[in-house]
Structure 1
Amino acid sequence: MMKLLACISVIGFRLMVCVHSEFIEPSPSLALRSFSSTQTRMPCRFMVEADEQVVQVTWSRQKPGGEREQIIVGHFTEGPIVSPDFLSLVQFESSDPTVDSTLLILNTKKADQATYTCHISIFPSGSFQRQISLTVWRVLRLIGCAAVPPDAVIADSGSWRVGHSGSELRCVVKGNPLPQNVTWSRKDDRLPAGVLVKEDRLMFVRPLNVTDEGVYVCQTANSAGIAKAEFKVEIGSRCLIYWKDDRLPAGVLVKEDRLMFVRPLNVTDEGVYVCQTANSAGIAKAEFKVEIGKRWPESARALGSPSETLLIIIGASVAGVLVIVIVIAIILINCHLRRKNRKLKRALSTRTEEMISLSRQVSMRRLDSFNGDLRTALEEIALIQMDSVTKGSVLSVEDRSTLSDVKGRHGDREYDSLGRPAIYTAYRPARSSRNIREIEEERNERRRRVESYVKSSSMSLVLLLCRLP
């Protein structure tokens, strides 16, 4: 009996252990269904005793072909470790995978359909695992189930100017269901000739003209309604340039309102060129006659012919060269004259120095002569004084003879300028007295001059004697 009770207690204990150490979720053989492009949650939680510890959690899957792949591992010390093939595809729902081992497939795909295994390692109890079968369904989205009324917009391309080709209008439609038929018309008028309708496009396959102006209407419809769109075409003015009664010559380029001769002109380019333009108010034309080599434009005629222009240019160039040559010659002559003046100044300075040197030499020679023979110098001075005295005595004698002659003439009788006796005699006492006075003054002046000369000579001699050593 006691043995039976012991066995029952052991079995009860085991049962208690099995009850407390078990999976909380998932249930055995769980089958999950998930949609593609959604997040899938695969639960896995295990309850352990107080003396037990979850060491590692491992998720793996087995595809229908039998291939097994390890997805992610959660270690109690190292944390979660994702396999390289599943990076950014899966993760644990909890930050502590040893407590809650639920796996999340972030973006489920059809390839994720497989059998998944949650394997838990517990110390010291051992390992436990549960499997989950995952089926992935694709989501089919039905777009445009409700009818949407149509919408239309007209888009244009190309240039809307007179003479331009290839312009077109396109009707862009929307709606559900999408409208399939598009009709074109022109408001208050029919479509012009030469216009092509192709599906949703209205094409002007010929050059435009002013008659193409107007309001063009695009109309479309579906089961939900009708839509219209309008576009106003305005043809801009443009010159149509052509050669009257013929076509334009080769090598001539028409660029908008300009006619350009992109090659050298020749005689075949002569003719009357016509520029035609138009708008909604009417049409205008202008003509211009081109004559090659016969007539010059007014601007060219004012300037003269090319030969005259060339002569003017040559003449101006020659005149400019002459002016430059004259200026250079003047500068050279000026420089030459300046050099010559400098040479003359140097020569004059040299001559002046030579004269000063010679005069100094003469002065030194005179001083040497005076120093050598003072007696000869005194004799020369005495002779000079005697000569001056003799000159003074001669002058005094001449003055006396003149006075005696005058007195004789006045005493006896008067004579004319030739020494002949005067026929008419007249007594002139005032004139005689004036002549005598003038003679006296002249004689006194001569005496003063002689005395001054003698005095100056004496002083010079004295100074010379004083300077002698």
Structure 2
Amino acid sequence: MELTGQRTALLILVVVGVRGVFVEPPQPVTSLRSLAESETRLPCRYQVEDGEKVVQVTWFKELPGGGKDQIITAHFMDGHTEFGRYSGRVRFESGTPTQDSTLLIPSTEESDEGSYTCHISTFPNGNFERHITLTVWILPISSLDPVFLVEGQSYRVAASCRAVGRPLPRLSWDTDLPGQSNNRSKEGGSVSSYYSLHPLRNMDGKKLDCLVWHPGLKEPRRISNSLVVHYPPDAKISSSPGDWFVGLDKAELVCSSEGNPKPQNITWTWRGGALPDGASAVGGKLVFGRPLRLNDSGVFECVVSNSVGVGRAEYTLAITRSPRTDGPPIDNQLLIIIGASAGGLVMLLIVVVLLVNRHHRNKNKKLEMELSEKNEEINSLSRQASFRRLNSVSTDPRVQPEDYALLRVDSRMKNSEMSLDSGLPSSLVPVKAQQDDGVVTRDPELGHCREGDSPQSVVEEREDDDDSDSYQLSEALSNHFYLSNGLLRPKPHSNAILLHPRGQII
């Protein structure tokens, strides 16, 4: 009977439980995450049914041993009450906790991490609960400790970076320096990283940043840092002006140096001792307050020191009796202008040469064309002159110039033993014009044209012989021909042979 009563009561609770609805959170068990020193919100809101009423709301935190620690309670008539160490640290989000039971922790601590229970008591349906597991993250607290190094030291730590957080942060280095990092973790959520290298002066001022990585950060946190390397100074002396001569006024030597820390102590010596009279050191300058003298020559030394070491530099000063007569150095801009002008002139000269060459080429072509036309004209005139001479031999209009020819056969010819003499002078022998490979020839007896002679030279020789040929022709006509019935006929002669052009003897 008792067992039946328990089952009935459990069934009633299940049915009643179905009536209540949790709007937030909907799941019976929920996990949340929060950051230390920030506000944490634990949601709990129950929606009642018709005829149902929330009587009391209570928040509990589960203890490691299995017990519960009461945090806060709100009654629909008596108001709310905070308990123990939570008094003043927690509050309800709503002014009516029985309607919205969400709990707020304004400043969350690491100890607030754990499991929480929201307990709702209703009438007449009974009690309902929601369980929330809270994880508290601690954003990393980080720091970087630089180390002052000295050039020439052995391999050692150049900087150390440390971070504390929850969960455990991760550290890395952002640098171009040649070194190596070493990370170490400790209890309590702290981690340290050390960066080591061989210190050199060219590393001074270079970037050596520490990066802190944590899931609570959207991007890594950067701790900016520059490596510090101390090194002794390097001294260097420069002169102003460069020409030192007797009587020069306002002359000075300048001692410059580089070092870390910056050098502060600068001293001057002359020939290993005190400075000459009238010369004084003003900071890094050695100033002559009077005109230079010839005995001011010598070796000047500049000594620069810092906390790390000392730097020295020497300058041999040679003073002349008179200034140099060398002209001032040509300015670089003037050299550029001169070079550009010379280049422009060269280009202009090249263009002029090309234009002149083209002009002469065209002129030569024109002269060649004119010479070719003249040669053709001379050849034509030469042929016409030859025809005129042949026609002048006979005045008989019925006889064509090509029908007859007078030949004089030399009795001394080697190829023939015949001895013929026409009695005609050599001037009456007609000229034979040939065009064989461009060579014009005459009878060897005349000796006026030869192989290789240009047409122009032949014409000039023929023009010179026109007068003599006319005279000889008149004499030949009177000695060897006579006029009969308007025709010019040859005089009878015992050795004369008249040949027809077709090779027949008349």
**TM-score normalised according to structure 1 size:** 0.31
Structure with bigger helix share is 1
